[in-house]
Amino acid sequence: MKKLFGVLFVSGLVALSAVAHSDDEIKARIAPVGSSCMSGDECAAAPAPAVAAGPKSGKDVYGSFCTTCHGAGVMGAPKFGDAADWSARAGKGLDTLYTHAINGFNAMPAKGMCAACSDDEIKGAVDYMVENSK
């Protein structure tokens, strides 16, 4: 008898809670989160965001990719601005630094995870780090 009363009581609460909400509230709660825009729709007329033209500067590449590891010295990466960290590496020559930066070296992945960067952009980032770490 207690189980039957419990089931009926819960059923009644569920029924009352459904009645307590207006149709507008229910529609708002189950409405789609986003919308799609098809070619030819008015919303499709918005221009695409501008893409940067030309190569990225060494400073831009450093700020977007290199700073993650070289800013804090993660896993032995030479810290930006620390002459002691860079002196031994710079002593091997820029060509060696370029090769390591482009192809990867020890814990550093190839191109520092900037797969879209050209070799010249990576070289620019290396030059930027070396120049600012003297």
Q: Please, are residues 70 and 79 in contact by the beta-carbon 8 Å criterion?
A: yes
CATH of domain 58-131: 1.10.760.10
pLDDT in tens, 57-108: 999 999 999 999 999 999 999 999 999 999 888 889 999 999 999 999 999 9
Q: What is the pLDDT of residue 6?
A: 75
Q: Do the beta carbons of residue 80 and residue 129 sit within 8 Å?
A: yes
Q: How far is CA 52 from the centre of its chain?
A: 18
Residue 132 has what pLDDT? 93
Model pLDDT for residues 7-25, shown as the tens digit of each residue: 777 777 766 665 556 788 8
Could you tell me the residue ranges of all domains in the chain? 58-131
CB contact at 8 A, 114 and 65: yes
CB-CB contact of 38 with 44 (8 Å)? yes
Q: Give the span between the Cα atoms of 26 and 103, in whole angstroms.
A: 57
d(CA 76, CA 81) in angstroms, rounded, equals: 15
Q: Do residues 98 and 122 touch, judged by C-beta distance below 8 A?
A: yes
- Can you tell me the distance from the alpha carbon of 84 to that of 74, in angstroms, rounded to the nearest whole number? 16
